[in-house]
Every structure is written in structure tokens, then in C-alpha cells.
Amino acid sequence: MLGQLQRLGDCDFTNLVDGRTVAAVITSFLALLEMMKTDTVVCTQAGPTEPIHVYLKEVA
């Protein structure tokens, strides 16, 4: 997932999922939460049913 973000810069969460199975979505979401926790990415969402947009955090 980190490699994809480094190539793309930013994208929607659905573009980061490594498959369409429930397990793949859950695993990708847990990885995303961990990257948010370690301050690697920033996520935004306009509303409850809107896509989650993921940005790779800039290193200062």
C-alpha cells in the first residue's frame, strides 16, 4: 500500500485495496489505520457515504 501511495501521491481508498474480497478490504483498512497512527498518511472524507481519500504525508 505504501508503494502504491508513493507512486500515485494520493488516491481513493478503493484504489489501494489489493483485491475485492471482504478479507482484502478489511486488511487494507487496518493497514490504513496503522499508517494513520504512525503519521504516515492523512485521510479525508467529505461525508459518511463519500470515498475516503488518502494522502501520503509530506516529510518536513
Sorted by where each begins, the domain ranges of the chain are 2-56
User: Of 58 and 50, which is predicted with more confidence?
Assistant: 50
DSSP-assigned letters across all residues of the chain: -HHHHHHHSEEEGGGT-SSSSHHHHHHHHHHHHHHHHTTSEEEE-SSTTSPPEEEEPPP-
CA 29 to CA 35: how far, in whole Å? 10
pLDDT tens column, 3-56 = 888 888 899 999 888 778 999 899 999 999 999 999 999 999 999 999 999 999
| Residue 2 scores a pLDDT above 90 | no
Q: Is the pTM of this model over 0.85?
A: no
Q: What is the CATH number of domain 2-56?
A: 1.10.10.580
Type of residue numbered 42:
V
**Residue 38: per-residue pLDDT:** 94
